[in-house]
Structure 1
Amino acid sequence: MIKRIDDTGPLDRRLHFTPMNSPGTQVRHLDGIRILDLFAGPGGLDVAAHFLGFKSIGIEWDRNACETRYSAGLPTIHADVSVMRESRFDEIPETVDVLAGGPPCQSFSVAGNGKGRRALTRVENFIYRLVDGEDEAKIDEELHALDDSRTALVLEPLRWLLKAIDTEGRDPYKVIALEQVPAALPLWEVYAKLLRGGEGRLKGVKYEADCWELKTEQFGVPQTRTRAVLVARRPGHGAIDPIEATHLPFDLHRGKRNAGRTEMFPTNSRIPGTKQRWLSMAEALDAASKLEGSPVDVSRLKTGGRMGFFVVSNYGSGGDPKKRGRRLSSEPAFTVTGKVSRNKVYKSMTEYEAAISERFTIPESGVLQTFPHNFPWSGNDQAQQVGNAVPPRLGMHVLSRALRGNAPSDEELAAATTWPSVPPTTTAELRVIGCGDQSQCPPNSHKVTRPRRKAAP
């Protein structure tokens, strides 16, 4: 078993952020941070880290996701990951010894245009070239010429590791935990092979490393979603055991169902030594609605006091864009994407035929991703924020295995349904840490566009 490394102790130095009125505020928020979350989004991995008892800081370029993070009390740097690595690396707390993240997956995703999948071989080649020490300026030039520039972002975790190894006064990360869409698994396998070898620019720094495909519904997420996960850890703590599923898989080829028929979902009892059945949308939403102060109200989804609805996906099925998939409330949700607000919810076939539908609210969509029911979604494009995030419950299993060598406890998982309240003063202080005077934020990210006035008739 790997022991949790002591989180105590002050920062070795102040970070180069815009000073706040209180000199101690910066250190108070950033003291003891261990996890750096690249491409942090609204905070899926950071939420997971919080409930496991670890402090994290995230780098995120999207202003809206940053606003959610500030409201949730999550330390953040509003910046481009590449820029931070190239010119602001010294601003990362020296207490950070865990590198985590999920590079943007649109170019690799099955739902995307697929250019990233076709570029897998080229990207693998870039990985080897980086480790072999080839000129990075030349590599950057070729990366920028790719059909989809986002494809290159999957290389950033490796480049951050190499930066830490090359920087005097910095130690290599002790733990690395990465996730992506399944199409990226071959890249994680290349990562794992190189990390185990420690050759070239890795300068003898070796890791125990392994990667897997994980299905979210097998970890208590009320949603079918498959992720490619890499976990690497410096030697000395034993081999990395596979991340063990706690729930049964959902049968995606279960045959045709009457999507309009209301079904009572079976009891999801916990029998020691056995896996639980996957969690349904109805179970997750109903449980969230019963929590104190919950913004989740499922009364509109009930008929005769009983939960029963079906969801029609925004995406086509079987290669036919007109053939929309359907899920019953007694089943897990489809993969929650940035278009989740476009999915239509019907209580009966009568409503379906009459085109009378509901939509999941942002808190409900967040619950289907296993965010706390009261998570303070902020800024614009909130549906996109929800869809881009790592499901926190899956993140808890990944980080717990990587950092502690075991699964999260039942008590930790149970506590992850409610987010602690964050004072407005904390949000304001974190915004100053993250954005400062806005001069180092991504270009035009704080630009306010005003609607044009209509011409007088």
Structure 2
Amino acid sequence: MTAGIELFAGPGGMSLGLEDRGIRSTGIEWDDNAVATRRAAGMPTIHADVRNHGPRDFPRATVLAGGPPCQTFTIAGDGSGRAETDRVVDAVKRMGAREVVDPRTFADERTTLVLEPLRWLLADFECSYNAVVLEQVPQALPIWDAYAEVLRAEGYEVATGVLRTEQYGLPQTRKRAVLVARLGAPVALPAPTHRAYTKGVPQHEGDPTLKPWVSMGDVLNRPQPFTVISNYGTGGDPKNRGRRTSAEPAFTVTGKISRFRLIDADGNELPRFTHAEAGQLQGLPADWPWSGSDISQQIGNACPAPLAAALAAAVTGDGI
């Protein structure tokens, strides 16, 4: 196994995907609940703030991975990170020039956590990382693009973009801004393995060179078809909330997935998603040992394991 270090490791989605490609990562995570889940799953875990560690603490790691907190960038959040994206991009460039960035000048300190992977990558340490895998909400793409400029100056080949997770076998439509990089070696975003989901287009139709997208019904062991009524209202009007059947991928899974209603063909209420089922929609096994509290939020914060595996495949190769 190749040794990796994973920042903001969460409950294990990224770690599981990396391990699928031969990368055994030690995760740094500060949240008590996510740490409990990781440890129950047998994943190497440091219960700490990533800002209190650096590359020298993990000299064997040759892969750096992570998904910084997205609360200030996501549409569902307070928007302070999105409002300061230009300042974050400027901070990335300044860090590339080896200038010091003061996180106290930002409206929310969580916004500057997106700079932590770059601190690790630019640290004055004799062993550089051979490969990098990062993911965040789509609104963070300009930041990854700024990272790319800095990393290229450091000798990395880099690819960035926004990927659709159902195109990598996840039974859920979710978009993520990603960055993959290799030191002194070519790299490209992973090619889709599955078709993109389009409402109204049957699962079996589309590009014959790609696998069909995966539906909720394909992975969940439910005895009857169902319809999901999302908790995402349009303009606050419950009548406008989206609906998808079990023959379609799930809506984006967030920490509010427990609010999704499920009904049968006659409109009768069905049991809502269990933690195991919600985890499966993020690509985690049904027997994943969710532990601690606030499990719905853990699940919503998890990196989809199939996406992590695809990103890891993009950076695996000789020299890692």
TM-score for the superposition, normalised by structure 2 = 0.93
Aligned counterpart, 1:241: 188
Q: Structure 1, unaligned stretches of length 5 or more?
A: 1-6, 8-32, 199-205, 256-264, 287-297, 303-307, 406-457
Shift of 1:162: 1.6
Deviations 1:100-144 (A, max 9, x none): 00001111112222221111101011111112222x2xx22xx22
Query: Among 112, 133, 158, which residue is 1:152 paired with?
Result: 112
Give the counterpart letter for 1:368 in structure 2: L
Local SS of the residue matching 2:179: strand
Once residues 153 and 321 of structure 1 are traced to their aligned partners in structure 2, the CA distance between those partners, rounded to angstroms, is 35
Query: Among 78, 96, 100, which residue is 2:65 paired with?
Result: 100
Query: Among 8, 23, 32, which residue is 1:54 paired with?
Result: 23
Distance change in 2, residues 1:380/1:119 (3 Å): same
Shift of 1:321: 5.2
Equivalent residues in 2 for 1:242-261, closer than 5 Å: 242-252=189-199, 254=200
Aligned counterpart, 1:220: 169
Shift of 1:241: 2.7
Aligned counterpart, 1:276: 211
Q: Percent identity at matched positions?
A: 45
Shift of 1:267: 6.2
Once residues 53 and 393 of structure 1 are traced to their aligned partners in structure 2, the CA distance between those partners, rounded to angstroms, is 14
Deviations 1:368-387 (A, max 9, x none): 11101211111111111111
Aligned counterpart, 1:119: 84
Deviations 1:362-420 (A, max 9, x none): 01001111101211111111111111011101110000111239xxxxxxxxxxxxxxx
Local SS of the residue matching 1:314: coil
Once residues 189 and 29 of structure 2 are traced to their aligned partners in structure 1, the CA distance between those partners, rounded to angstroms, is 29
Give the counterpart letter for 1:282 in structure 2: G
Runs of 4+ in structure 1 deviating by more than 4 angstroms, as ranges, are 265-269
Local SS of the residue matching 1:125: helix
Once residues 281 and 213 of structure 1 are traced to their aligned partners in structure 2, the CA distance between those partners, rounded to angstroms, is 23
Shift of 1:320: 4.0
Local SS of the residue matching 1:212: strand
Give the counterpart letter for 1:185 in structure 2: L
Contact 1:315 1:321 in 2 (8 A): no
Shift of 1:358: 2.1
1:91 aligns with 2:47: no
Shift of 1:214: 0.6
Q: Structure 2, unaligned stretches of length 5 or more?
A: none
Report the number of matched residues.
317
Once residues 349 and 151 of structure 1 are traced to their aligned partners in structure 2, the CA distance between those partners, rounded to angstroms, is 46
Shift of 1:196: 0.9
Query: Among 57, 64, 68, which residue is 2:33 paired with?
Result: 64
Once residues 13 and 267 of structure 2 are traced to their aligned partners in structure 1, the CA distance between those partners, rounded to angstroms, is 37
Query: Among 173, 187, 192, which residue is 2:143 paired with?
Result: 187
1:81 aligns with 2:50: yes
Equivalent residues in 2 for 1:234-383, closer than 5 Å: 234-235=183-184, 237=185, 239-252=186-199, 254=200, 274-286=209-221, 298-299=222-223, 302=224, 308-317=225-234, 319-320=235-236, 322=238, 323-351=240-268, 356-383=269-296
Give the counterpart letter for 2:302 in structure 1: A
Once residues 131 and 61 of structure 1 are traced to their aligned partners in structure 2, the CA distance between those partners, rounded to angstroms, is 27
Local SS of the residue matching 2:278: helix
Once residues 95 and 321 of structure 1 are traced to their aligned partners in structure 2, the CA distance between those partners, rounded to angstroms, is 53
